Chains A and B, each alone.
Chain A
Amino acid sequence: SAVISQKPSRDICQRGTSLTIQCQVDSQVTMMFWYRQQPGQSLTLIATANQGSEATYESGFVIDKFPISRPNLTFSTLTVSNMSPEDSSIYLCSVEVGPRVGDTQYFGPGTRLTVL
């Protein structure tokens, strides 16, 4: 299993500012994922973050808006840049642990972001 923590747990930010969300895992993992969960919506994958390489972004998400760092095998950050109210959402990181894909993907508790 994996225990994942995120900081901050919630924040209220002003339009035009940026927020960096941290994700810490208690074990080394190859791949980490960042998701967005907008109010009343399901989870949407933003990007996949591998240690030592550039993050891979899904359609509709760009590096300038959501830069990601992955400095080691237990840590990643997601920055939400130049925020607007439409960025108000829950941001979750997840990791996959174990040899079999899909069955062991663990999620962090999420960061609840409100942009005014």
Chain B
Amino acid sequence: DAGVIQSPRHEVTEMGQEVTLRCKPISGHNSLFWYRQTMMRGLELLIYFNNNVPIDDSGMPEDRFSAKMPNASFSTLKIQPSEPRDSAVYFCASSFENSNQPQHFGDGTRLSIL
């Protein structure tokens, strides 16, 4: 079975540029989560969706960050404009809605803002 697929795996760009990270959840999963991982702050939940609807975006650091889920098989996390402090590994995870089900993680996008 295909797992959660994230693209790109690596992104290097200059500050001020727009960055778009993509995620394809596991087919049939109806919850999707975006995380950010850094050495300083560990694993942070940014936003999550249920049935394509954003439920809680309180973890989004500022207005430069936005996320969408136009359909059940695709989500994007966008940073505009990007800043060096946004450098991190960004993970997408998906699961069934039932709370006894685990989240399944993608391999992440390693983002470097120069």
Chains A and B are bound partners: no
